[in-house]
């Protein structure tokens, strides 16, 4: 269910492979009185559809003072070969995150940090239809690229596939997003930050990345691919039999034997090393 998205991340993680969603040779253009998408497209030898796609515009309406990202006709909308090192050169040199404020959008954040909307989406595992929330932490630099590099150096299989590397990078992003929900109250049957139960939290986290999971922990246990405890990676879902036999509880694994789950009175971090959780652990799934 994540194949298309993961292939995009895999492409970004591989030097010299064609990228079709990131622009080389981009230009920032501030809209002036009398401008239209058509006139700007003519000026920069590109197309209206390419401008709309690059800036996530749903209509032809633009306004003076608005900043647009413009790529050449050779690099926008044609699947041209843009090398990963060219993309890296266009990213900020430092690693940083930004906490989303009320009224923010991906477009306004992209303008603030002088990056493209497409880069924000790639670094944070988002889609054009994704919703961001106040209090959410977004990577606004090449953090994901750094994580991919670390994962590559730690890989037990140097010849492993780029897709596996992309899965790992996405898993880190999923784990990071789960941690932004810490402190949200526990509510039986809850499926939103106003109140979560265990499976409601897991379903909500994965839905943020366009991954649809069943509503209950039992249904989620029947999804994905089984993972042994020794091979757990951030972003895996861990399961427990807290109410008798079966997967009655679950959470999102974040690394270092820890997982985020809705338990007690709030979303919190617990450890598989804890005698209670370790004693009730029954398995994990990679979604």
b/e per residue 18-48 (b: at least 16 CB within 10 A): ebebbbbebeebebeeebebeebbeebebbb
Is 231 considered catalytic here? no
Let me know: does 57 contact 31? Beta carbons within 8 Å. Answer: no
Give the Å distances, CA to CA, from 89 to 80, 162, 195.
17, 21, 42
Distance CA 174, CA 7 (A): 16
Distance CA 226, CA 229 (A): 10
CA 171 to mean position of chain CA atoms: 9
- From the candidates 55, 124, 198, 208, give the one annotated as an active-site residue: 198
- From the candidates 55, 124, 208, 249, give the one annotated as an active-site residue: 249
- From the candidates 55, 124, 208, 261, give the one annotated as an active-site residue: 261
Distance CA 99, CA 122 (A): 17
Is 45 considered catalytic here? no
Q: Which residues of 126-233 form beta strands (DSSP E)?
A: 137-139, 191-192, 195-196, 225-227
Is 114 considered catalytic here? no
List the one residue out of 211, 243, 244 whose CA is nearest residue 252: 211
Distance CA 102, CA 135 (A): 8
120: left (phi > 0), else alpha (psi -120 to 50), else beta? alpha
If you search the block for the tokens 């590099």, which residue do you land on? 149
Burial bucket for residue 56 (CB in 10 Å: 0-12, 13-18, 19+): middle
| Active site amino acids | 198, 249, 261
């Amino acid at each position: 269910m994540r194949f298309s998205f993961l292939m995009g991340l895999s492409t970004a993680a591989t030097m010299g492979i064609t990228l079709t969603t990131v622009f080389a040779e981009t230009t920032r253009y501030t809209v002036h009185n009398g401008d239209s998408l058509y006139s700007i497209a003519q000026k920069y030898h590109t197309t209206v559809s390419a401008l709309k796609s690059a800036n996530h515009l749903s209509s032809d309406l633009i306004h003076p003072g608005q900043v647009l990202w413009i790529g050449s006709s050779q690099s926008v909308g044609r699947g041209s070969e843009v090398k990963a090192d060219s993309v890296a050169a266009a990213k900020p040199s430092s690693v940083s995150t930004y906490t989303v404020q009320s009224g923010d959008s991906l477009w306004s954040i992209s303008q603030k940090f002088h990056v493209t909307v497409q880069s924000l989406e790639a670094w944070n595992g988002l889609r054009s239809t994704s919703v961001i929330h106040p209090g959410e932490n977004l990577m606004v630099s090449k953090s994901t690229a750094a994580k991919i590099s670390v994962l590559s150096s730690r890989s037990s299989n140097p010849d492993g596939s780029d897709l596996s590397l992309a899965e790992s990078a996405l898993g880190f992003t999923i784990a990071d997003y789960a941690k932004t929900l810490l402190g949200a109250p526990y509510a039986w049957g809850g499926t939103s930050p106003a109140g979560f139960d265990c499976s409601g939290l897991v379903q909500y986290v994965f839905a943020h990345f366009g991954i649809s999971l069943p509503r209950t922990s039992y249904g989620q246990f029947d999804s994905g691919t089984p993972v042994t405890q020794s091979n757990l990676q951030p972003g895996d879902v861990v399961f427990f039999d807290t109410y008798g036999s079966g997967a009655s509880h679950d959470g999102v694994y974040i690394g270092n034997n820890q997982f985020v789950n809705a338990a007690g009175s709030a979303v919190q971090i617990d450890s598989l090393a804890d005698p209670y959780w370790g004693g009730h652990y029954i398995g994990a799934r990679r979604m």
